[in-house]
Amino acid sequence: MTKQIWLNLPVKNVAKAKEFFWKIGFSFNEQHDTPTSTCMVVGEGHFVVMLFEESIFESFSQNSITDTNAGSEILISIDAESREEVDELAQKVQDAGGTVFAAPTESQGWMYGCGFADLDGHRWNVLFMDFSKLS
């Protein structure tokens, strides 16, 4: 059975995308970098997000790339350890040139999060979940 999963995302400029994600706190496994891709590692489980130049991504997927200005194909959710971490990440996203489309706010009484779009318009959801407040 499957042991790992990778998420592949198209980007217009690999170097700029890598710089953006580096600035907001993500890490990379640079031994897998090529001129047209980079390997981002997310979280303690080392979830791999491959960022591919758009033309390479299209050749793999054999499909056109979604216009992220007109719609979303995916919402990538990541966790935060505290409300403060959500706030800090939202600020880092803005400072790095991304767009916070949903400001940090409380939801359902036990979640606190925000939504942001990276440089290529891919949407991310950051959540701190306080399960002690879940009723």
Read off the pLDDT of residues 84-117 as tens digits, 9 standing for 90 and up: 999 999 999 999 999 999 999 999 999 999 999 9
Domain ranges of the chain: 1-64, 72-135
In tens, the pLDDT along 4-33 reads 889 999 999 999 999 999 999 999 999 999
For 25-83, what is each residue's pLDDT tens digit? Answer: 999 999 999 999 999 999 988 999 999 999 999 999 999 999 999 999 899 999 999 99
Domain 1-64: CATH class, spelled out: alpha beta
The CB-based long-range contact list for 101-110 (8 Å cut-off, 24+ gap) reads 109/133, 109/135, 110/134, 110/135
What pLDDT does residue 2 have? 81
Query: Quick one: average pLDDT of 106-134?
Result: 95
Same fold for the pair 1-64 and 72-135: yes
The rounded distance, in Å, linking the Cα atoms of 49 and 81 is: 21
Please determine, for residue 135, whether its predicted confidence score (pLDDT) is greater than 80: no
Amino acid at 33: D
CATH number of 72-135: 3.10.180.10
